[in-house]
Amino acid sequence: MNNTALSNLPEWDLTDLYPSRTSAELKEDLETAAEDARHFAEHYKGKLSDLAGQELYLAISTFEEIGELQGRIMSYAYLVYAGNMSDPEIGKFFQTMQEKVNEISTDLLFLTLELNKIDETKLAEMYEGSSLKKYEPWIRNVRALQPYQLSDELEKLLHEKDIAGRSAWVRLFDETIAGLKFEVDGEEMASQQVLHLLSSKESDVRKKAAKSLGKVFGENVRLFSLVTNTLAKDKAIEDDWRNVGNPADMRHLSNQVEPEVVDALSAAVQASYPSLSHRYYTLKAKWMGVEKLDYWDRNAPLPEEDDRIISWNEARDTVLDAYGRFSPELSELGRKFFENPWIDAAVRPGKSPGAFAHPTVPSAHPYLLLNYQGNTRDVMTLAHELGHGVHQVLAGPQGGLLADTPLTLAETASVFGEQLTFRSLLEKETDPVKRRVMLAGKVEDMLNTVVRQIAFYEFEKRVHDARKKEELSPDQIGKIWMDVQKESLGPAIRLHDEYQYFWCYIPHFIHSPFYVYAYAFGDCLVNALYAVYQDAEEGFQEKYFEMLKAGGTLRHKELLAPFNLDASDPAFWSKGLSVIEGFIDEIEAL
């Protein structure tokens, strides 16, 4: 690895949240939040339905303020933990903060439970002539869970037990993954470093990396199977108590999306497997001079691909330039992340793998975590996470309860940022060979975002359905994984035995079941949105900014209406998928 190109990568500074894990400020905020929550419960518990509209508005405002403190504490604790998951002292700190904040939020739990008991007519009266209207989108989302609400005592029990139940299993998964060691040619590596080798120019390196991943995942598969079985069973029990029909229903509800919209997306993507992934990987096998690609060659660079290491400064300038060509304001917002210590980019032992943007709280700012290793995909990941960060900054003024965007639209700004960066680079490239390589890279990213994520979603559905009948052995889970991968990747990819363990490391299955379709939703949506931008009259940028600023105040139908787009129209998804097909056509022509 070229160390000079990857030297001086930024590290975040979390002191904007708290000076340290033992700081007086953190201790004081914990005490304040606990005291405020107790007072809040004494003042409002059991009395919500008797309040006038303005009084309920004040109650929710106070609830939001206490939530801001809790959010700041937990954001800090999680970011410290993500920076080094293998340090037992940090693990202990993270768990202690979770327990303390869980205790505080137990005092606040009554608010949402009582909100759901207020009669619809009475609530409509409360909105009249009061500031309560501000919180209507949040109240609507809370009340969407009304049919599934249990007794107050049961809700309290589930809330309190989470810390020693679901959350503890998630932590076990995170610390196990962060602590795994993989050996390639005598060198010990973390998972993100070995996964990075799957896009090495050297076929031999890719194979060794894949075999090492398969070996270590296989050695740990019993633990990962236990975590998966336990969490799926835990979810099934709670769903059963709540009378939830389908394992994915609660995710759709929190995403503010109708199940039939997700079904239409999933069906459209699965129907397009032959014209997208199957066709592309057959083409790629031909370029690589083989009949079939081994699974470790799926993301291999093409023979003509430039494999130089892209320095951090070049990556930054590439992304900000592309953002600026769309809107100088977007670029300026993005620049703040580089001018301030808001990004942690280097690969370190124990650090959380992958990448994310954490919104923290509206009174602070987001932080980005990357594992930057200097390839083109890492530049695209930077464009993606920066899109999230800018979105979170723009939505922040909505406040703690309304800033959060539903997951289906949470991927819009990130994927749009990637699209802007890619199109900007493609426009500058005149060499047909380099254009083909760039288009191929983009197609592979889109297949990973759309086809692969819908295959993940299908895998989760089958695992959760099968788990209802019995505990699943590692072999059973492996078989479901292999079936889904064969269907989605097609006949041009050769899957070896050890590939059956590759479901183990996907964190979304553990952290947020059924989240994965949000990526496919975002990609197809952005394809449609980008087409509107290309044909747009003046004013697209303003509409785009308004959409991002809305945060969680509007649903997907309302947010997309200004662009004349409608995700509930089945043709909408075909439009998004046809963009990928168009790119494959262009590659074939080149």
Which phi and psi angles does 565 have, rounded to 5°?
Answer: -115, 150
> Which residues, at least 6 apart from 257, have a Cβ–Cβ distance to it below 8 Å?
406, 408, 521, 556, 567
> Which residues, at least 6 apart from 164, have a Cβ–Cβ distance to it below 8 Å?
none
Tokens linked to 301: 């660079």
Tokens linked to 373: 């290793």
- Quick one: CATH architecture of 14-164? Up-down Bundle (1.20)
Give pLDDT < 50 ranges for the chain: 1
Of 443, 406, 361, whose CA–CA distance to 68 is shortest?
361
User: How large is the angle between the packed helices 53-83 and 88-108, nearest 10 degrees?
Assistant: 170
State residue 152's pLDDT score. Answer: 94
DSSP string, 301-361: PPTT---PPPPHHHHHHHHHHHHHHH-HHHHHHHHHHHHTT-EE-S--TTSPSS-EEE---
DSSP state of 276: I
Domain boundaries, the chain: 14-164
CB 526 within 8 A of CB 575: no
State residue 266's pLDDT score. Answer: 95
DSSP state of 274: I
State residue 109's pLDDT score. Answer: 95
State residue 1's pLDDT score. Answer: 45
Tokens linked to 334: 């993005």
CA dihedral 168, 169, 175, 178 (to 10 degrees): -140
Q: Each residue of 479-535: pLDDT tens digit?
A: 999 999 999 999 999 999 999 999 999 999 999 999 999 999 999 999 999 989 988
Our separate counts of H helices and E strands in the chain read: 27, 7
State residue 3's pLDDT score. Answer: 63
- The Cα 302–Cα 314 span in angstroms is 22
